Chains A and B, each alone.
Chain A
Amino acid sequence: SSWWSHVEMGPPDPILGVTEAYKRDTNSKKMNLGVGAYRDDNGKPYVLNCVRKAEAMIASKKMDKEYLPIAGLADFTRASAELALGENSEAFKSGRYVTVQGISGTGSLRIGANFLQRFFKASRDVYLPKPSWGNHTPIFRDAGLQLQAYRYYDPKTCSLDFSGAIDDISKIPEKSIILLHACAHNPTGVDPRQEQWKELAAVVKKRNLLVYFDMAYQGFASGDINRDAWAVRYFIEQGINIILSQSFAKNMGLYGERAGAFTVICSDTDEAKRVESQLKILIRPMYSNPPLNGARIASLILNTPDLRKEWLTEVKGMADRIISMRTQLVSNLKKEGSSHNWQHITDQIGMFCFTGLKPEQVERLIKEFSIYMTKDGRISVAGVTSGNVGYLAHAIHQVTK
């Protein structure tokens, strides 16, 4: 007999499992609107020019392969912090922060979650927006924390339930942990406006909550990196010492290279040093030290003026294409004769769109049209092209008319 007889078959990962089902489909019209990976207008993965240039530079330098420090590539972590906080940020300039390299967004979130479990004794509760990225819950749970929720998305309007959010957040026990999506909320694409962020910051401050920002789409949402980081920077300016997870998977197209960072804004540099030492103690028994390749590419781009400029243009290009696909989807739905209000498709922002489709309708899209998305009706707009937006609109109309 086996040690593993009692091990159950795990259910397929809801998000990544969509791609696997898509790959098995032989329909030539199939569309993968599951995982959040950017596609160009030909539906192909897009390797940024600035990334190719950075890679060529790296190849020519013939560097060694020595271990990185536990906290990662210093040029990368510093540049990541500056990107998020802004070069004029008092917190950044004073050095009262620590940024460690993490394994893209997931790894950075997990480092933070483990850190909270070990050192944040005031609360075990993490409040997530309803809904949130599916992987948030198991990440925090595996780290030993408990999950709670605050109202966020209003399915009736397919937009922000702002009063519900404020109401719930006002009642969160003091010193609980609250997770906020910095921009391009996943899965809904619904972000607070700046005025709403201001109110949220005030409530969060009043309740003395520990704020955990997840920023996976800086630059990718509006096309402007400063605009997308506005909430993060505003909270810090209000005296809220946030913690932050960043990913370079989408905005630099570095998905499989796992480039990310975890930041803690501290009271002072001494606290930052102490926090860093504890983060290292957490990281070492997870994977010792992080992978170099992605971080080095990102670092070169952020720290080389020409490459950085090119990157900003390319990230705006990606954001613009997505915005244009949203517009085209809505106009095509109108052309199909749909009588529904699809305004939320263009109101929402970022890679994802919460279509409002019900599970049965999603099921039909998958089975009858080979259009793959997650059951919650979330589509990755990045998977839409001018070539298939018509087909998508047609299919959506068929299942909703």
Chain B
Amino acid sequence: AYRTDEGQPWVLPVVKKVEQMIANDNSLNHEYLPILGLPEFRANSSRIALGDDSPAIKENRVGGVQSLGGTGALRIGADFLRRWYNGNNNTATPVYVSTPTWENHNSVFMDAGFKDIRTYHYWDAAKRGLDLQGLLNDMEQAPEFSIFILHACAHNPTGTDPTPEQWKQIAAVMKRRCLFPFFDSAYQGFASGSLDKDAWAVRYFVSEGFELFCAQSFSKNFGLYNERVGNLTVVGKDADNVQRVLSQMEKIVRTTWSNPPSQGARIVATTLSSPQLFDEWYGNVKTMADRVLLMRSELRSRLEALGTPGTWNHITEQIGMFSFTGLNPKQVEYLIKEKHIYLMASGRINMCGLTTKNLDYVAKSIHEAVTKIQ
């Protein structure tokens, strides 16, 4: 979760404002939402992902399923794919997740019933970057119609994203091999500070004519973690296909949670549909993204100034909440035990945990760990 420079959680000012508006609006009640969710929320969410001028939206071949966070959107999408993709109830369709990936991806697709979950190359530890060749090879070798979980931006946990040119290559292979793109978009806006930039890959795939799913989370970019606000955007060939897909999504939603929670969706819908509130929100998002970007550049410059062995440009080349530092498990253990700096054994740090007050300490500690322990 995001933290301020004081190390505190941050409720976005625009969220506070909108919550107050909602609290003051006596015409609102707590009635059930429709099964697929609040219509204004669904439409605005998909619009955010695909762009105001999205041809797919203009052609009426986009649908949304309001879900409980990004996880809920992934799960509904996974349940749907297991029932309806590549035949009926074809649990043997391979599902590919990156190495590494958010660990819950595996569980979501397993619990949805898929029997064959595989990995695709992603993180190159040696060069601390994307193993594009490994990734493309895996796609070439993957059985036709395999499902690929792609991180739309700010890959979790490595922070390493393909460049636009690399995305183009990925898309080309996927098109040729008839592979299904399932995007996980948990950090739109939060990664670079630009909604458009962070959605580039998804929009590119749409422009290349793919049918795809995109699981969106508003936990981070709206700071609405505990309200469970998410949306599964469905892009299909035409309106008729999308209609039928949504009708079956309803069946799945009905036996999972019946209809989604109202509060968070209202906040997002109200914000996104008002030009003024939208601008305020964008400003809040940029505040968060900029702070993380600042911490990245400050950490990197300190490590380079200290002459810490190794290269540290990956700290600023990576993006989003997390950074794969490249520290090995022993070095991580040192940081935890000796310096009380908590990070994952994989060397993943949460950049949000850095503040102007602790930057020096963290940089020095990393320096110690790297020089003392091989």
Which residues on A are within 8 Å of B, measured CB to CB?
1-10, 13, 16, 35, 37, 45, 47, 51, 55-56, 59, 62, 64-68, 103-107, 110, 135, 138-139, 141-143, 249, 253-258, 281-282, 284-294
Contacts and interface: CB of A to CB of B under 8 A. Distances in A.
A66 B225 contact: yes
Contact of A16 (B35, B110, B237, B243): B35
B223 interface: yes
Contacts of B261: 103, 256-258, 291, 293-294
Of all A-B residue pairs in the complex, the 3 with the closest CB atoms, nearest first, are: A256-B262, A287-B68, A285-B107
B211 A4 contact: yes
Contacts of B71: 284-288
Contacts of A51: 30
A13 B254 contact: yes
Given A256-B259, A293-B261, A284 B107 contact: yes
A2 B238 contact: yes
Interface of B: 1, 9, 11, 15-16, 19-20, 23, 29-35, 67-69, 71-72, 75, 84-86, 88, 104, 107-108, 110-112, 180, 211, 219, 223-228, 236-238, 241-245, 247-248, 250-252, 254-264
A183 B241 CA distance: 42
Nearest to B83: A7
B226 A3 contact: no
Contacts of B31: 37, 45, 255-256
A291 B228 contact: yes
A67 B225 contact: yes
A5 B11 contact: no
B186 to A, nearest CB: 11
Contacts of B68: 103, 286-288, 290-291
A284 B84 CA distance: 23
A103 B228 CA distance: 11
Contact of A7 (B23, B32, B67, B244): B244
B32 A290 contact: no
Contacts of A255: 30-32
B343 to A, nearest CB: 19
Contacts of A6: 84, 88
Contact of A287 (B69, B238, B245): B69
A139 B255 CA distance: 5
Contacts of B104: 284-285, 288
Given A4-B245, A65-B225, A138-B251, A107 B256 contact: yes
A107 B112 CA distance: 16
A286 B30 contact: no
Nearest to B262: A256
Contacts of B32: 16, 35, 37, 249, 255-256
A37 B30 CA distance: 10
Contact of B30 (A4, A9, A47, A290): A47
A292 B247 CA distance: 28
B257 A2 contact: no
B243 A293 contact: no
Given A65-B11, A291-B68, 13 more contacts: A6-B84, A7-B84, A16-B259, A55-B23, A64-B9, A103-B258, A110-B256, A110-B257, A249-B32, A285-B108, A286-B68, A291-B264, A292-B226
A9 B257 contact: no
A10 B23 contact: no
Nearest to B243: A9
Contact of B237 (A2, A37, A253, A256): A2
15 contacts: A4-B244, A6-B84, A7-B248, A10-B250, A10-B251, A13-B250, A51-B30, A56-B23, A59-B20, A103-B257, A255-B32, A285-B108, A285-B110, A286-B256, A291-B263
A277 to B, nearest CB: 14
A288 B72 CA distance: 8
A236 B294 CA distance: 58
Contacts of B228: 287-291
Nearest to A141: B255
Given A7-B245, A35-B32, A106 B108 contact: no
Given A255-B30, A285-B75, A65 B227 contact: yes
B369 to A, nearest CB: 29
A62 B20 CA distance: 11
Given A2-B236, A287-B69, A9 B251 contact: no
B349 to A, nearest CB: 19
A2 B238 CA distance: 8
B241 to A, nearest CB: 4
A291 B255 contact: no
Contacts of B75: 285-287
A10 B29 CA distance: 29
B30 A256 contact: yes
A56 B24 CA distance: 10
A206 B277 CA distance: 63
A115 B259 CA distance: 21
Which of A10, A105, A107 is most buried by chain B, counting CB atoms within 10 A of its CB?
Answer: A10
Given A7-B241, A65-B9, A13 B263 contact: no
Contact of A258 (B224, B241, B247, B257): B257
Contacts of B227: 65, 291-293
Nearest to A256: B262
A67 B226 contact: yes
B12 to A, nearest CB: 9
B23 A3 contact: no
A359 to B, nearest CB: 22
Nearest to B265: A256
B248 A257 contact: no
A288 B86 CA distance: 27
Given A8-B244, A68-B226, A142 B29 contact: no
Contacts of B263: 257, 291, 293-294
A10 B241 CA distance: 12
A37 B242 CA distance: 30
Given A2-B236, A256-B30, A291-B226, A286 B111 contact: yes
B254 A135 contact: yes
A293 B262 CA distance: 9
A103 B257 CA distance: 6
Contacts of A62: 11, 16
A258 to B, nearest CB: 5
B264 A3 contact: no
A279 to B, nearest CB: 13
Contacts of A258: 257, 259-262
